[in-house]
Amino acid sequence: ANTNRDASGEAGTVGYSGAELEAAAEASTRTALEDALECALADVCGEACSGSAARALARRALRRAPKPQGWDYEFPAVRGLFMKLRAASAAAASTDTNTADTAARSTAVASITVRHAESEFGPSKEVTYATAHALASDVAGALEGVSAVLARVAVDERCVLLLTTTLQQERQRAMGRLPCAACGRFFNGYRGLRWHQQISHGENYAEAVAVAANASNMQLACAPHHERSATANALRARWEGTERERRARRLALPAGAAAARAGDCDALRGLAMASGGGADGWAFAAEQDCVHWAAGEGHVHALRVLIEEGGCAPDGVQRAAGSVGRTPLHWAARNGHVGALRYLCGDALDAADASVGRPKCNPNAATPDGTTPLMLAVWKGHRRAADYLISAGADLHALNRFGCNAAQWAAQAGDVGMCAWLRKRGLDMRVINHNGHSALHKAAQKQQREVCEWLVTKCGLGLEHMRPDSHDSSTPGDLARAEGATALADWLDEQRRTLAGGGTP
């Protein structure tokens, strides 16, 4: 392939594949990192590691991170260098007849002293390091000042330098991932970073929202297409394309699931016959969650084929991430398909329909976190589905693992009508979950003002439901304000002050 050069002198991209461009960028980045490490080692370690020794160590020890979800390179050699220099100091101290004081000799052995010869940058000096971590921290600091290819450098508890290159940062940015400034890892978008801040770094909700919003804004502020080089734009297009393909593969359905989703009974039977017929022929249906797909789309005829002809389990649980433990009943409830619910619960669909031999699924089936089909129906506003489930034996008062009942699900969805219906059915709207969240906290967090006003003025939620939660001491007003709903936050705070003063909403 032939390179060309633009007006700035940068190598062009004509004739090069995306893979070749990325390989060239990686090679260039590694070379720049090795050069930077050589300079940093010489700058910090002085006579102890300079010239060819620093160059050899930089090239030998720099390695790719085993799982580049954050930093993409590691440099683990500083601890070894410290130990080597400390051993040399110990040997020197043991032969130094002038070091008679045992305590002084012990101190000399426990630390290292690096000597810097006089240069154009300053007079000769000596720097003492008591720990390998202190030495690694100074090398990291020196790196930050000498390399344009580094976006971030940190030192872990093993004294390993964790290096995030600008190439890695741009790659992750192109794939829609946001960096955590605290630990250097990247996460899928605003929500992923916000959850990480709360769970891994113990930030309260408002702080986590602020961190995620700031990272999102910085993402938007990256250089526009016309200000980037041709190579940078070509690499970004490659990474964006790779991410689109990854997402498409994740969303693509295998043939059985696609047929179940479409309610194509002939296609389902054809797949079973192509696989040999009989029980073995229908094995694909369980592997591809076909009953779940049919239930979620409300295809009762496909459910009959899968369960009655194919012998598929009507209450199988999913293993896929994000849906772990859900049964077909969960999906039928979530999407409001009453016919599918009736079939799965063993009831006749109409006066002419017989329910003999039907499946009898448990209407209170719960996922590992305690989510029931009724909770999903309520969350999505499907009142007919919720009404049927209760008539079929679903527990209106069930709590999930976090201590939430259906009231919290309806509140966060902003459905005043559903909230009123649940209250009329006898549901306790005043439940406070294990984190100290009432339905008011849930509604405020989702900026649902109408529900907040109904809960306070019509449902009677009081001061105890407005208290700071036990997770990060956030009131409903704090949660609303963190999401930018200032007017709602002010209203909630005013209601809290009124109630605290003995007044009424």
Q: What is the pLDDT along the chain (505 residues), one digit of tens a residue?
A: 334 434 333 445 555 677 888 899 999 999 999 999 999 998 898 878 888 999 999 999 999 998 767 899 999 999 999 998 888 777 766 665 555 555 444 444 467 877 766 555 566 678 888 999 999 999 999 998 776 899 999 999 999 999 999 999 999 988 889 999 999 999 999 999 999 999 899 888 889 999 999 998 887 666 555 456 787 888 888 888 888 888 888 778 999 999 999 999 999 999 999 988 888 899 999 999 999 999 999 999 999 999 999 999 999 999 887 889 999 999 999 999 999 999 999 987 765 665 556 789 999 999 999 999 999 999 999 999 999 999 999 999 999 999 999 999 999 999 999 999 999 999 999 999 999 999 999 999 999 999 999 999 999 999 999 999 988 899 999 999 999 999 999 999 999 999 998 888 7
pLDDT at residue 95 in the model: 63
Q: Is it true that 253-395 and 407-505 share their CATH fold?
A: yes
pLDDT of residue 437: 96
CA distances to 18, 118, 257, 284, 313 from 268, rounded to whole Å, are 40, 81, 9, 10, 15
Superfamily of 407-505 according to CATH? Ankyrin repeat-containing domain (1.25.40.20)
> CA-to-CA distance for 48 and 54, rounded, in angstroms?
9
In this structure, which topology does domain 253-395 adopt according to CATH? 1.25.40
The pLDDT, as a whole number, for residue 2 is: 39
Q: Where are the domains of the chain?
A: 18-175+229-244, 182-221, 253-395, 407-505
Give the position of tokens 């929202």. 209
Q: What is the 3-state secondary structure (H, E, C) of 225-266?
A: HHHCCHHHHHHHHHHHHHHHHHHHHHHCCCHHHHHHHHCCHH
Phi, psi of 239 (to 5 degrees): -65, -40
Residue 234 pLDDT: 85
The C-alpha atoms of residue 230 and residue 227 are separated, in whole angstroms, by: 9
| Residue 263 structure tokens | 């309610």
Which residue do the tokens 């000597």 mark? Answer: 115
* pTM greater than 0.85: no
Return the pLDDT at 161.
96
Hey, which bits of 15-149 come out as E strands? 63-64, 73-75, 112-116, 125-129
Tell how far CA 183 is from the center of its chain.
14
Place of tokens 């043991």: 94
User: HEC states along 278-323?
Assistant: HHHHCHHHHHCCHHHHHHHHCCHHHHHHHHHHCCCCCCCCCCCCCC
Distance CA 411, CA 459 (A): 12
Q: What is the pLDDT of residue 5?
A: 39
Q: Residue 50 has which token pair?
A: 């300079």
Find all residues with CB under 8 Å of 258, minimum gap 6, and list them: none
